[in-house]
Structure 1
Amino acid sequence: KLPSIAKDSPGNWKATHLSMSFPEILHLRKQLISHVLLNYVPDIFLVDHMPHGAMGELLPALEAIKHSRIHTQVVLGLRDILDSPEVTINRWQAEGAYDAIERYYARILVFGMQDVYDVVEQYQIPQDQAKKVFYCGYVTNLATASNAQLVRARYLADKSSDTRLIVVMAGGGADAYPMMSTLIDALPKVLEDQDCIVAVVTGPFMPTELIADLSQRAEPLPISMMESVNDSLSYISAADLVISMAGYNTTVEILRMKTPAILIPRAGPSAEQRTRARLFCDKHWVDMIDPDELTPEILAQRISYHLRHPIESNRNAPPNLDGAAAAARLTLLSVLASKNGKVLPSPRLISPPQWAGE
């Protein structure tokens, strides 16, 4: 396993466990990555998120692959929204990502939809490189929501038939306190018109003192607090309404379950969640409240509205949730083509085709 690092801000990283300076741990990670690749000789080297790695840590390995006799196909996997275009472009220019894409990568798999967020246009990928870009669709948890009925029964079994279940979640929860605090303040107003049970999943990374504050304030209300759940899909499926931050995994799970949702993205420092929430709202897949506009009054109003008028999915433009299957098909075909000494497969062999260069 590579020694762990964490991102402080765009372009700034630190070691999380080892007592080493970042230049020292960067050097170690470069050596380990190169050594493993050149000795293991994989058919595919799938790079996630950063074409050059953290602070260019992949460049020695990529250069070694290019000048060796091994036939490893180098593929980049990207969430569609990384940050604002301005921040992403500036970091990619400063860290050599555009040069890396041109020099080393055979394909770029975008885990999103071009008509939602055009990565080529937004990140100014040169047109001669756009032919490498394939929009797979969104990658979602493939498990089934097998316990949805049990979850619903756990909270509503002894309640009246018109009682609604609201599920509130925020991934790791490190910055979820403002959203959950506002929900607690908003709920009394909601309860004036609608009986509800609220299941709040704080996330494992919310500070304990903030969890204690939320738990104390929630005690007189019909709120059940928990740190985490093992089956988030079942909770999302069981809910009449989900209130969530706007991380990639949770929002795509919400789309898959087709549960009405209000997204409240994190304020920053990255623009990723705000952008995703706005674009998904524009598609009428979810509702959103900007964190700068979040008040108990506004949240109560939106909750009450959606419990009375659940969001109906936009049937004319449903989300493509086949990203995992599309990426797997393309990767397999690329391996087979490489082993047979052929060119990479035509985009028309992959269904549904969403190729940026066509």
Structure 2
Amino acid sequence: MGAVRRHEPRLLIYSQDGLGLGHMRRTSLLAAEFLRQVPGASALTLSDSPLGQYFSTAPGHDFLKLPSIRKSGPGEWEAVSLSASFRDVLGLRRRLIATAVREFDPDILLVDHMPHGAMGELVPALRKLRGHRAHVVLGLRDIIDDPGVVRRRWTAEGAYEALEEFYDEVLVYGSSDVLDVASEYAWPQGPSQRLAYAGYVCGRPHPRARRLAVVSDGCAEGNGRARQDPMRPPTVVVVAGGGADAHPMMAGVLDAAEAVHEETGARFELVTGPFMPREKVAELRRRSKQLPMTDLRRRVHGRGRVARADLVVSMAGYNTTIELLNDGTPALLVPRSGPSAEQRIRASLFAQRGWVHWLDPDLLGSSAVADAIVGALSTPLSPAVGTDLGGRTTAVARLTSHLESWPKLELEPVGT
């Protein structure tokens, strides 16, 4: 018999990675789906993004802002805005997290990406939840970093111990056919047995996306499509997610734009993202104004422009990549060069399956970029696996199954 419920169902999400939009987008999608599946519930996200509540969200969802920090290298962190020492900022974050866990009293704690939190900041709160009624879940994208780096850092920082000691379940936002998480990252036997693959988490396909495949469970079943009007000059949209480290990719595209335009007639729309430093944006804008085939802006005006592009050139972050697959938009991925190998691994593995094109970030000379863009405009891609794109509903259905005293709903498919 389940514990007596003291309040409405509550989901608490811990999300740490403040200078990217992918984690924020993914956790916002999961919170909204939780509230759809459990009407009248509450969802609270602990996040350190400088943008705060960047994405629109559902009634019942709110954010608690932590002081922002960023990763400067493997196992190395620094404060983003405060002049205080990192030690002081980390201590403040640790206390805020523990207080939020105690006062919000969640039924489910969903930890995004880091089982122990940045530099172990989550461990005190996890210890307080032991023996508590809360169901503690780690939500993890399938590709974290180079396996050797992950094994060394997780061993040094106590992540494996946290995984084994505190978590009831692990949900992988990905596919075992792409990467076997337990094997690649050398997980202990206990957590390996509590691991389930939910599929890739994405939103609804954009209504203007020109897909060849049907829609299933709110996500497109394929990403291969041909240009609808081969006589029209192609549109290449260049996006950078948050954009904090996207300047080399953007500069490489501008170097190649004139040559691509001469060969294909393509026009370029570049979106720098909100985190690109202003001086870098100003430099790219000056260069773009000298190229009549390019238009540069800070933020995208409507996802439909991306969904209907003939080609999207993008970094290889999880969220951007999966939504491109979901919309069926041909993509050329240019992963960041470091400090993490995550994007390079994702781009390579997805390209091996014919889902995307990719260009090594060490090859950003104008000729190499131009050849890659021209090749991507003329080479069809293979459909992505449809069932692997239903992670949003699958993951949340597993979460809500632990709300024993809350009535289950007969849910309609999300997006058609």
Q: TM-score, normalised by structure 1?
A: 0.84
Matched-pair contact (CA < 8 Å) for 1:74–1:105? yes
| Counterparts of residues 2-151 of structure 1 (less than 5 Å) | 2-67=66-131, 70-142=132-204, 144-146=206-208
Q: 1:199 to 1:98 in 2, by over 3 A?
A: same
Distance (whole Å) between structure 2 residues aligned to residue 166 and residue 77 of structure 1: 33
Instruction: Give, as a single letter, the amino acid of the residue that structure 2 aligns with 1:229.
Output: V
Distance (whole Å) between structure 2 residues aligned to residue 26 and residue 179 of structure 1: 33
| Counterparts of residues 1-358 of structure 1 (less than 5 Å) | 1=64, 2-67=66-131, 70-142=132-204, 144-146=206-208, 161-218=231-288, 219-232=290-303, 234-309=304-379, 311-314=380-383, 317-318=385-386, 320-336=388-404, 339=405
Helix, strand or coil for the counterpart of 1:265? Answer: coil
Partner of 1:347: none
Matched-pair contact (CA < 8 Å) for 1:255–1:319? no
Matched-pair contact (CA < 8 Å) for 2:356–2:381? no
Distance (whole Å) between structure 1 residues aligned to residue 332 and residue 355 of structure 2: 10
Aligned residues: 323
Matched-pair contact (CA < 8 Å) for 2:101–2:125? yes
Matched-pair contact (CA < 8 Å) for 2:257–2:294? no
Structure 1 residue 214: deviation in Å?
A: 2.3
Deviates more, 1:58-67 or 1:101-110: 58-67
Helix, strand or coil for the counterpart of 1:254? Answer: helix
Matched-pair contact (CA < 8 Å) for 1:111–1:323? yes
Larger fraction in helix: 1
Matched-pair contact (CA < 8 Å) for 1:110–1:135? yes
Deviates more, 1:31-40 or 1:56-65: 31-40
Cα RMSD for the two superposed structures: 2.2
Deviates more, 1:297-306 or 1:100-109: 297-306
Distance (whole Å) between structure 2 residues aligned to residue 251 and residue 188 of structure 1: 26
Matched-pair contact (CA < 8 Å) for 1:176–1:206? yes
Q: 1:59 to 1:314 in 2, by over 3 A?
A: same
Structure 1 residue 95: deviation in Å?
A: 1.3
Q: Deviations over 1:27-57 (max 9, x none)?
A: 2222222222223321101111111111111
Larger C-alpha radius of gyration, 1 or 2?
1
Matched-pair contact (CA < 8 Å) for 2:259–2:370? yes
% identical equivalent positions: 45
Question: Unaligned stretches of 5+ in structure 1?
Answer: 149-158, 341-358
Instruction: Give, as a single letter, the amino acid of the residue that structure 1 aligns with 2:269.
Output: A
Distance (whole Å) between structure 2 residues aligned to residue 52 and residue 100 of structure 1: 6
Instruction: Give, as a single letter, the amino acid of the residue that structure 2 aligns with 1:271.
Output: A
Deviates more, 1:16-25 or 1:318-327: 16-25
Q: 1:192 to 1:93 in 2, by over 3 A?
A: same
Q: 1:214 to 1:99 in 2, by over 3 A?
A: same
Distance (whole Å) between structure 2 residues aligned to residue 111 and residue 57 of structure 1: 23
Structure 1 residue 161: deviation in Å?
A: 4.1
Q: Deviations over 1:118-154 (max 9, x none)?
A: 1101111122321111111111133634598xxxxxx
Partner of 1:351: none
Instruction: Give, as a single letter, the amino acid of the residue that structure 2 aligns with 1:248.
Output: Y
Distance (whole Å) between structure 1 residues aligned to residue 280 and residue 84 of structure 2: 31
Instruction: Give, as a single letter, the amino acid of the residue that structure 1 aligns with 2:190.
Output: D
Structure 1 residue 160: deviation in Å?
A: 9.8
